[in-house]
Chains A and B, each alone.
Chain A
Amino acid sequence: MKSMLALSMFFAVMVLSGCSNLTVLDPKGPVAEQQANLILFSIGFMLFIVVVVFVLFTLILVKYRERKSGPEYEPPHIEGNVFLEIVWTVIPIIILVVLAIPTVQTIFALEEAPEATSHKDPIVIHATSVDWKWVFSYPEENIETVNYLHIPEDHPILFKLASADSMGSFWIPSLGGQEYTMSGMMNELFLQADVPGEYRGRNANFTGEGFTEQTFTVTAESEEDYEEWVEEAQDAPELTQEKYNELMMKGHVEEMTFSETHLQWVDHGMDAEYATKVRNGEPTDDESSEMDHSEMNHDDDDKESEEHSH
């Protein structure tokens, strides 16, 4: 027991000294902030439960150990106690209800753009994971970057997440929780930065050999700096399909910037086969593949054109 106590003291010191780098509890945007608040709220209750159990546990062990009671002591026959059992059924239920309400509220809140900036139209960025890199397309700005992002502060960003191959998870811990990227599926995630700065983003879901280095940087900056960056990026070399197909090969690449986006050839949220076909040297945009996705593509085309018309 003493060693347990010493251990917990040791942990406490470690925790206090290491707190500054607990990224998740040091939010830089409204999404991460809601999550950090929920986490801290739950930690409070959890500590309460832990303390109750630990105190009871210690008291009982100390009081009823054989060395104290002696070998003559014969414990009473107790089969149970309905009242007590109801108590420790009902109290946890109450705690869970108290935890479930903000959980459900936050789940639904995170599906919308952050409230404080809801008057601004979100910037749409397609984030696509490809073994083992990140491709970001800004359809409205008509630019595409690889392995880095620029976003304006105080402005909601709507990430449209997809994968060209293995399932990844798009995660910028300072700005908010993650969401999967999948081939042939489109997920949406709102994030926002309130504080300018450089943040790390990465793939959080295992994707094989190059997974560890499948990272990107996020620069959150003022609207003016962001506009300036967009204009600069629009002067970057044009993205060709040939160049894009090179990106489909497994491997790591440096940061890159292009004007034009790959969305003109493929939307990985709709087409699960593109990267595989490129790797196998099969034709990618033949008639038949158009046809077999035509049904699903229709609503997407509508959506896409709506976005463009904004």
Chain B
Amino acid sequence: MRLDEFFVTGDPLIYGADVSIALTLIGAIFALTYFKKWKWLWSEWLTTVDHKKLGIMYIIAAVLMLFRGGVDAMLMRAQLTVPDAGFLDAKHYNEIFTTHGTIMIIFMAMPFLIGLINVVVPLQIGARDVAYPFLNAVSFWTFFMGAMLFNISFVIGGSPSAGWTSYVPLAGLELSPGVGQNYYLLGLQIAGIGTLLTGINFLVTILKMRVPSMKLMQMPIFTWSSLITMVIIIFAFPVLTVALALMTFDRLFGSHFFTMMDGGMPMLWANLFWIWGHPEVYIVILPAFGMFSEIISTFARKTIFGYKAMVYSMVIIAGLSFLVWVHHFFTMGAGGAVNSFFSITTMLIAVPTGVKIFNWLFTLYKGRIRFTTAMLWALAFIPNFVIGGVTGVMLAMAAADYQYHNTYFLVAHFHYVLISGTVYACFAGLYFWYPKMFNHRLNERLGKWSFWIFVAGFNLCFFPMYFLGLAGMPRRVYTYGVADGWMSMNVLATFGGLLMGIGFLILVYNIYYSFRYSPRETTGDPWDARTLEWSTPAPVPHYNFAHLPEAKGHDAFWIMKEEIKQGKKPEKKPYKPIHMPSYSGVPVVMSVFFFIAGFGMVFSWNWMSILGLIGVLATMVIRSFDYDKGFYVSVEEIEEHEKTT
């Protein structure tokens, strides 16, 4: 392979990216060396198994990916603003929408939510860590390396360009030669390992690591939503694993699962992809529902309305999520009976979702509503998600879907549910739990600016797209003609997109600003909140709880505070040593080997993939022989911590 085939050449945008990546790397290396932070980086972060730190790293990575995916979005909007624009050509546009979709779903939405789950869930259930702290680190690092592998594609070798759904035969070797599609397959595969491990880890954590007094029906809604999400992950992700592996075999080893030649069946890919893909949608929306429940309940100063209905509706949604995948291709010609069945199952999802919407509304009813930034995000979710939801029902009506399918109507719909659902939740959760993570709040004034600009921009960007769809504009076109008459709506959309970008930048600035100027927290409960994570002091000690708290209901901390108000004295119990797991460098090293193996496979450099796989196996062997049992936090150290806080 020649060097100019290895590096992507010929585009000023890419050269710009090359330079900025190089500068960032050099800058980071310089800063770490200059401030003598290498050891700190290794021993505090790279080797950590602490769920709070891993959660923070997930969120940082997700924000970076949000930036990358957002830049992709901006480039697309720039190209589509006016008819016959020449800013991007078809090839680049295709690469950009492919990476935008893949990054936003796999490398932004999921890790952002999993990051918040990492930080919050163990605290909410009164646990000192997750069930398998070591595996948790493996989860993070495989996700991170998978994401990196996917992301370097645009400077080394070329990006995938067959859409995030990678439909075959287009994504097959015949029609997409080159390494781009391989990056997609390997990047997702490696990140998928981490997701599956997270699923198992948190399922066991929530089932087995709760404080003994917390019954299942006393778990906070966010914990419930996480539990259900983990079950979906465990059954959905293996399907993706297989689908990706089969396409990898097709492309690298000449098998015929999805090819046009020798009996391959392209439709099989679409089915497998969406059997994973639809549950995936609920993987990124259920935790969002959980967060909104916590936030709305906290800032309305009321317990959640219809707790049981909230739980059952999520269970029903999870079950239905496996029964609706065909609605992604009603137009495949499966016949009336099949389309009718999947139309109806899809519509049914609206029922439990509607129940949740009304339960949120009635949680607010008779409450005392404080409009903090976190609450604003949660509130804006309701009307926006309803718009996304009702248009979802419209799309579920197969006969009508023949007209919406593959158009901007669909694009508008899934951005309405994914942005107002998942992204709003990420922002809401970030503002809400920020003091738990960093011991200071994000600035409220900047937060509100960023909120209003982003939400206005979002509606301005995506609402017109419903009409573009009805006007016949298909998704994934890189340009259109004057005669199509789509310009005015596209101008609006681009303007809206710009506002969203500004809103995001204000958020990022707010992180810096608050780091510098926000007062540090003195209590662990800045919002007068209701669940156990707020009973921990500020900053949260690495062992989370000096004494395991007691749960007497799903608003366990609220109940504690009520009891204290009524004069109950907290009893002083003596501290006992606390057992904690040791940090380990194995997860990060193992994941680096995964990266090497993946990179080798992308380019079909067998020596490199074999080297990488041997490395992976070797790290597993090392782990197998590792009988480290962790350590005990001494009573003195606990006393020291509890005194200062």
Q: Are A and B associated in one complex?
A: yes
Contact yes or no, B368 A180, CB < 8 A: no
Asked if B470 is at the interface of the complex by the 8 Å CB criterion, the answer is yes
Distance, CA A167 to CA B161, complexed state (A): 15
Known A-B contacts A38-B400, A96-B347, A180-B329; A23 and B470 likewise in contact (beta carbons under 8 Å)? yes
Known contacts A106-B399, A165-B169, A169-B405; is A46 also within 8 Å of B390 by CB? yes
Instruction: Please report which residues of chain B, range 163-184, place their CB below 8 angstroms from some CB of chain A when the two chains form the complex.
Output: 163, 167-170, 174-176
Asked if A73 meets B393 with Cβ closer than 8 Å, knowing A103-B400, A183-B260, the reply is: no
- Chain B residues lying within 8 Å of A131, measured Cβ to Cβ, are 175
Chain A residue with the shortest CB-CB distance to B354: A92
Give Cα A4 to B391, complex, Å. 19
The answer to whether A111 touches B336 (Cβ under 8 A) is: yes
- CB <8 Å contact, A64 and B367: yes
Tell me if A9 counts as interface (CB < 8 A to partner B). Answer: no
| B348-369 to A contact mask, C-beta < 8 Å, 1/0 | 1011001101110110111111
**Pairwise interchain contact B339-A14, C-beta atoms closer than 8 A:** no
With A75-B368, A88-B355, A206-B170 known as contacts, the answer to whether A18 contacts B489 (CB < 8 A) is yes
Given the complex of chains A and B, what is the CA–CA distance between A85 and B167 in angstroms? Answer: 42
Contacts of B167 in A (CB 8 A): 166-167, 205-206
A288 to B169, CA, bound (A): 23
Task: Give how many A residues have a beta carbon under 8 Å from the other chain's beta carbons.
Answer: 95
A166 & B170 in contact (Cβ 8 Å cutoff): yes
Contact with B along A27-42 (1 / 0, CB 8 A): 0000010111011001
**In the bound complex, how far is the Cα of B573 from the Cα of A205, in angstroms?**
66
Q: A38: which of B303, B367, B397, B472 is its contact (CB, 8 Å)?
A: B397
Stretch at the interface among B118-126, B432-440, B458-466, B508-516: B458-466
Q: Are B351 and A93 touching (Cβ within 8 A)?
A: yes
State the Cβ distance, B461 to closest chain A Cβ, in Å.
11
Q: Is the CB of B399 within 8 A of A165?
A: no
Q: Are B387 and A61 in contact (CB under 8 A)?
A: no
Q: Distance in Å from the Cβ of B591 to the closest Cβ of chain A? A: 33
How far in angstroms is the closest Cβ of chain A from B344?
5
Which residues A247-288 have CB closer than 8 A to chain B?
272-273, 275-276, 279
| B319: interface (CB < 8 Å) | no
B522 interface hit (Cβ, 8 Å): no
**Given contacts A53-B382, A75-B366, A78-B366, A173 and B472 within 8 Å (CB-CB):** yes
Chain A's closest residue to B306 (CB) is A80
Contact B90 A73 (CB under 8 A): no
B138: Cβ under 8 A from any A Cβ: no
Q: Which residue from A92, A108, A212, A279 sits with its C-beta under 8 Å from B351?
A: A92
A49 touches B266 (CB 8 A): no
A24→B403 contact, CB < 8 A: yes
Q: Are B405 and A107 in contact (CB under 8 A)?
A: no
**Contact partners of B383 in chain A: CB under 8 A:** 4, 53-54, 57
CB distance from B564 to the nearest CB of A (A): 16
Return the contact of B90 from the options A92, A171, A183, A211 (Cβ within 8 A).
Answer: A211
Q: Which residue of A lies closest to B402 (CB)?
A: A177
User: In the complex the two chains form, what is the Cα distance from A69 to B467 in whole Å?
Assistant: 41
Bitwise, B458-484 to A at CB < 8 A (1) or not (0) is 011001100101111011111110000
B13 within 8 A of A: no
Other-chain contact of A276, B260, B336, B343, B357 (Cβ < 8 Å)? B260
Contact digits for A64-90, partner B, Cβ 8 Å, 1 yes 0 no = 111001010111111111001100110
**Which residues of B have CB within 8 Å of A188?**
333
**B176 contact set on A, CB distance < 8 A:** 208
Taken together as a complex, chains A and B put the C-alpha atoms of A171 and B347 apart, in Å, by: 25
* A276-B90 contact given A50-B386, A80-B307, CB 8 Å threshold: no
Tell me which residues across on chain A come within 8 A of B357, comparing CB atoms.
Answer: 53
Q: Mark B293-308, 1 if CB is under 8 A from A, else 0.
A: 0000000111101111
Find A272's partner among B260, B354, B361, B452 (CB 8 Å cutoff).
Answer: B260
Alpha-carbon separation in the docked complex, A107 to B383 (Å): 31
- Give B386's nearest chain A residue, CB to CB: A53
User: How many residue pairs bridge A and B at CB < 8 Å?
Assistant: 285
Say if the beta carbon of A116 comes within 8 Å of chain B. Answer: no
Contact B400 A89 (CB under 8 A): no
In the complex, whether B428 has a CB less than 8 A from a CB of chain A is: no
Which of B309, B368, B403 contacts A85 (CB under 8 A)? B309
* A-side contacts of B303, CB under 8 Å: 77-79
The residues of B that contact A88 with a CB separation of less than 8 Å are: 354-355, 358
With a CB–CB cut-off of 8 A, which chain B residues contact A275? Answer: 260
Q: How far is the CA of A65 from the CA of B406 in the complex (A)?
A: 42
A54 to B357, CA, bound (A): 11
Q: Check if B407 is an interface residue, CB within 8 A of chain A.
A: yes
Q: Is A219 an interface residue (CB 8 A)?
A: no
| A185 close to B (CB within 8 Å) | yes
| Cross-chain contact A169 with B175 (CB below 8 angstroms) | no
Would B163 and A206 count as touching, CB distance under 8 A?
A: yes
Is A236 in contact with chain B by the CB < 8 A criterion?
no
B496 CB, nearest partner CB in chain A, Å:
10
Inter-chain CA distance A103–B472, complex, in Å, is 21
Contact with B along A1-33 (1 / 0, CB 8 A): 001100100010011001001111100000010
The answer to whether A210 and B90 have CB atoms under 8 Å apart is: yes
Instruction: Knowing A185-B267, A276-B174 are in contact, say whether A76-B366 is a contact too (CB < 8 A).
Output: yes
The docked-state distance in angstroms from the alpha carbon of A32 to that of B402 is 10
CA distance A74 to B167 in the complex (A): 55
Residue contact B340 to A104, C-beta cutoff 8 Å: yes
State the Cβ distance, B314 to closest chain A Cβ, in Å: 14
* Interface-central residue, B390, B470, B489, by most chain A CB under 10 Å: B470
Q: Which of A14, A53, A182 contacts B488 (CB 8 A)?
A: A14
In-complex Cβ contact of A273 among B261, B336, B364 (8 A): B261
B260 touches A184 (CB 8 A): yes
Q: Is the CB of A49 within 8 A of B386?
A: yes
CB-based contact B365/A60 at 8 Å: yes
| Contacting pair A24 B472 (CB below 8 A) | yes
Q: Does A233 lie at the interface of the complex (its beta carbon under 8 Å from any beta carbon of B)?
A: no
Distance A273 CA – B309 CA, assembled complex (angstroms): 53
A152 CB-CB contact with B under 8 Å: no
Inter-subunit contact B302/A78 (CB<8 Å): yes
Chain B residues near A279: list those with CB within 8 A. Answer: 174
- Contacting residues, chain A, for B405 (C-beta < 8 A): 169, 177-178, 204
Known: A39-B403, A79-B307, A177-B401. A73 touches B368 (CB 8 A): yes
* A-B contacts besides A84-B362, A210-B90, 8 pairs, CB < 8 Å: A18-B467, A50-B387, A54-B383, A131-B175, A177-B331, A180-B332, A182-B267, A208-B161
> Top 3 closest A-B pairs, CB basis?
A177-B402, A106-B399, A187-B333
14 example contacts (A-B, Cβ-Cβ < 8 A) are as follows A11-B463, A25-B470, A35-B402, A43-B394, A50-B390, A53-B383, A64-B366, A79-B306, A79-B307, A100-B397, A166-B167, A169-B406, A179-B332, A212-B480
